[in-house]
A and B are shown apart, each in its own frame.
Chain A
Amino acid sequence: MSIEISVLRGRIENAAEAVGPLWPLRTFNSANPLSGFESLPFHEAVQRAGHLFRGRGYPAPDVFRRAWERGDIDPEILQRQLRDAGHDLDPAAALDALPRHDSSPAEAEDERLNRIMSKWLAAFFDHGQAAWPMPNRSDGFFASWRILAPFDRGIPGIRQTSDLPSTKLDAFIETLDGVPEEEWETIFTHHLAALPGWVGLIRWQGRGTAGEWEKAKPITLGGYLAVRLTVARLLGEPLLPKDAPANGEANPDTQTLPAVVLAAWEETYRHRLIDDLTEPPSRPSVDGTDTRPDAQLVFCIDVRSEILRRHLEGLGPYETHGYAGFFGIPMEHESYAPGAGVGERVKACPPIVDPRHRIAERVAPGCEHEAEAYNDWAGIEGTRRTLLKTLKKDVAAAFGFVEGSGGFYGIAMALRTLLPHRVFDGLKSLREHLPGPSSFTEVTVDRPDTPDPDDALPLGLSPEVKIVYAEAAFRLMGWTDEFAPIVVFTGHGSQTPNNPFKSSLDCGACAGNPGGPNARVLAAICNEPAVRDALRSRGIHIPEDTVFLAGQHNTTTDEVTLFVDDEDPPVDPGALERLRDDLAAARNGATAERVSSMDDRMWADATRETERRAADWSETRPEWGLAGNAAFIVGPRRLTRNLDLRGRSFLHSYDWRVDDSGTALETILTGPLVVGEWINMQYYFSTVDNAVYGSGSKVTHNVSGKVGVVQGNGGDLMTGLPLQSLYMDDEVPFHDPLRLFAVLHAPVERVEMILNRQDTLKRLFDHGWVALAIMDPEENDRVMRYQPGGSWAPMSVDEQPAAAVLPDA
């Protein structure tokens, strides 16, 4: 049998559509686990993916019931939805009739094959965890496996390497012998979807952005399949097991009971949100007066920002804005490295944006002394770590080391477990005595004269590009006048020890890294006189006395750190002091609100409790992350100011009056909104089936090869969020699994124009992955709801009490 390799390639590519990419832990990115199905309508995608991954697509009946008992599902809305969908049931009967889902599907027929593949993939992908890594990995997965496979007792029938096909193509020729081409895709889909974690990681690497990884450990889907199909043949297993769900035909029905109850829950939330947004504003005078605010702070659109913003605005003449947390800088961040070393380079922009610049931290002029102190400490610390690693891993030294150091480690462990507050205080005091690199470095925003190294992106930004990024920031936020004396760009990051999922709590717009470095870049650009002159000629007038600062919001403790040289502050020290005091007060308000949602005990000092969570190595829930997210509001802050959105809304600032061409709105919808949808879908699916689409309980997690997390001692990589990030306990979710609701403050014609030229975006709305409403400022903020297909219907209860949510059957 002969096989055209290009045909094979095309079939594998098609089959791989079913499995979305999975980022390694270091840069864990939120992604819709059903991203390969996004071209389908939501309900059909849920059904097809349900067959393939054996996962549940809708919340469990108990989850619906609790929402109903809390009053989160409006009986009238549910009744209307049931009637429209042709169900002759009243709401209570509908909730009783919800089908139960078998939460523990039978073990797959080819589980033995899965276990063998997981073992080899874990060895191949190891990223520095194994003391003795798999050899020959640079030759590729198939070639390096082929050499070692004869030693695997689990695979029968191989005595030596030559018993195995010599190339990947030969492996396919042997295994697909006699199988018609039309069946290949079904077979491949089954074998790829059998291990969505490891295969997702291969897909991530196959995007061509993995850099060094790719060179050190080249692996393709073809290599994976060649090994897997060969092992299946040797085990005597059929190419397509009888229980293979890839064959399952979907019969998409948008009117099933779970779909209808979900829609009713979503509509209840959405109507209440719209009611809040359209109620006659009891908005305070701050908006109406012309007083210049003392400070303006720009936060990430992240739902967690809303809580702190609300508390801060209530404390004084402050304004806040929302912008994507990478601050529009498509960069790779190179952290400070003591001495002549090269710092770690990490991507610091959203998963759908490629970095174009490298921004490094360098010692700022006049800060050499602090840098030296830090370098000395870092040198000692580095030696200590190397020594400990050697002592622990050296065969001869290990026993003596354990004997000698056990007592010390025991005390340290007891301290970390019993007195996490003290650990937090200790770390804080260390930071005060020995400030980290952000206190003595500056970011390289200028292009240097020296040439860039071959292996790196160009360092710094050209003068033209600086103007583009600064203008983009203000245009997208619709912010062209009124600048306070202090403007702070505030990135965000989390603080959590012993947590492989730290990246999932950091900034999603910065590839799962803290956003402070990006904030520093935009602030540095905006302080340059040449940039301000250029902005002025483009209609953005920044007064002489406005100073841009950068900061970082610690989302675990709600502390905001301002990156300011306190010995020589660039702004009035009194004003800076007031801002810091108010940020501290806002922090107390925000932590009180957040802690009460994490724990039903009464905390006298909620801030202190967040500090414990930030330092406690046994804490499985340092914070809620983006749990609760359900809406994405694009518009000026005055629409939402004074509303308690309960940390559930992404907030992107936008002013339709300064965006005649619609370019700013188009950028927001095709960029930040798409990332918001990925996050929302990850939270949705991780909640509705935590074992399949999430990652199960943290208690039984093990990190595999520093790349991912497995449950227990092996198996597939878990792809989504852990149970403790979403659930109050094993049964009760904290996150309400609702699809995202986008609300745009913009004229209907403008939104239509954008949808008509962005077919991928339009499809998200047409296929029900995201719902859309606009508040049309040209029609007195009348709320219109987008109907799949392209029409609009009023949402207001007065205008149309039974606003059709599902199209008539």
Chain B
Amino acid sequence: MTDQPQDTETTGKKHRLHSLKKIEIIVRGEKEKFVQDLLEECGATGYTIHRDIAGRGSHGFHEGRLLFNDRAGLVMFFTVGDEEMIDCVMDGLTPLFEKSSGVMFVSETQVVRLEKFLEEDE
């Protein structure tokens, strides 16, 4: 299911695009370790973290970087993988968000180098 290559013509070069899923997660800084462990356990081959992000949510506005507090910040993760990996991450986050503030977004995405996003044994 993950591999439905499409041919795209860009700048005269031929790329093969592969469909995968992308998940974006925003949690409080104190949950950063939990999400990292979860992603690794679910087999994410890598992820990106933005720390000290700002924004408005149901609890009000949250300003970003603080000089003397590394715990109160919001962090955003994003990573890409196959459906099984994304499902595993969602399974772990769904109970979490019953109690802690945070959001996750899952969307379709396409990548060029599929091997970067799937575990070797797949």
Interface of A toward B, CB cutoff 8 Å: 4-7, 9-11, 13-14, 17, 185, 206-208, 324, 328, 350, 352-354, 472, 666-667, 670-672, 674, 756-763
Residue of chain A at shortest CB distance from B67: A667
Q: In the complex, which residues 11-44 of chain B have their Cβ closer than 8 Å to any Cβ of chain A?
A: 31, 33-34, 37-38, 41-42
Assess the A9–B67 pair: CB atoms within 8 A: no
Assess the B72–A10 pair: CB atoms within 8 A: no
Interface of B toward A, CB cutoff 8 Å: 31, 33-34, 37-38, 41-42, 59-63, 66-72, 88-89, 91-96, 98-100
Select which of A4, A7, A208, A759 is within 8 A of B33 by beta carbon. A208
Assess the A13–B96 pair: CB atoms within 8 A: yes
Whether A4 contacts B95 in the complex (CB less than 8 A), given A757-B62, A759-B61, A762-B60, comes out as: no
Assess the B88–A6 pair: CB atoms within 8 A: yes
Please name all residues of chain B whose beta carbon is closer than 8 Å to the beta carbon of A208 when the two chains form the complex.
Answer: 33
Please name all residues of chain A whose beta carbon is closer than 8 Å to the beta carbon of B100 when the two chains form the complex.
Answer: 14, 17
Additional A-B contact list (17), CB under 8 Å, known A7-B95, A208-B33, A671-B66: A4-B88, A6-B41, A10-B92, A10-B94, A10-B95, A14-B95, A14-B96, A17-B99, A17-B100, A206-B33, A324-B68, A350-B68, A670-B66, A670-B68, A670-B72, A759-B59, A759-B62
Whether A10 contacts B63 in the complex (CB less than 8 A), given A207-B33, A667-B68, comes out as: no
Residue of chain B at shortest CB distance from A14: B99
Assess the A352–B70 pair: CB atoms within 8 A: yes
Assess the B93–A472 pair: CB atoms within 8 A: no
Secondary structure dominating the interface of A? helix
Whether A757 contacts B63 in the complex (CB less than 8 A), given A352-B68, A671-B69, comes out as: yes
Please name all residues of chain B whose beta carbon is closer than 8 Å to the beta carbon of A472 when the two chains form the complex.
Answer: 67
User: How long is the Cα–Cα vector from A472 to B67 in the complex, in angstroms?
Assistant: 9
Residue of chain A at shortest CB distance from B71: A352
Counting from the closest, the 5 A-B pairs by CB-CB distance are: A671-B68, A6-B92, A10-B95, A759-B60, A757-B63
Assess the B68–A672 pair: CB atoms within 8 A: yes
User: How long is the Cα–Cα vector from A17 to B95 in the complex, in angstroms?
Assistant: 13
In the complex, how many residue pairs between chain A and chain B have their CB atoms under 8 Å apart? 89
Assess the B96–A756 pair: CB atoms within 8 A: no
Whether A10 contacts B68 in the complex (CB less than 8 A), given A5-B41, A756-B60, A762-B60, comes out as: no
Assess the A6–B68 pair: CB atoms within 8 A: no
Residue of chain A at shortest CB distance from B99: A14
Assess the B61–A6 pair: CB atoms within 8 A: no
Assess the A674–B63 pair: CB atoms within 8 A: no
Select which of B38, B61, B68, B93 is within 8 A of A353 by beta carbon. B68
A–B complex contacts, Cβ < 8 Å, 15 sampled: A5-B41, A6-B38, A6-B42, A9-B37, A10-B91, A11-B95, A13-B34, A14-B96, A352-B68, A472-B67, A666-B66, A670-B69, A671-B68, A674-B72, A759-B60
User: How long is the Cα–Cα vector from A241 to B84 in the complex, in angstroms?
Assistant: 37
Residue of chain B at shortest CB distance from A222: B37
Please name all residues of chain A whose beta carbon is closer than 8 Å to the beta carbon of B88 when the two chains form the complex.
Answer: 4, 6
User: How long is the Cα–Cα vector from A10 to B92 in the complex, in angstroms?
Assistant: 5
Please name all residues of chain B whose beta carbon is closer than 8 Å to the beta carbon of A761 when the two chains form the complex.
Answer: 72
B34, B61, B95: most-surrounded residue (chain A CB, <10 A): B95
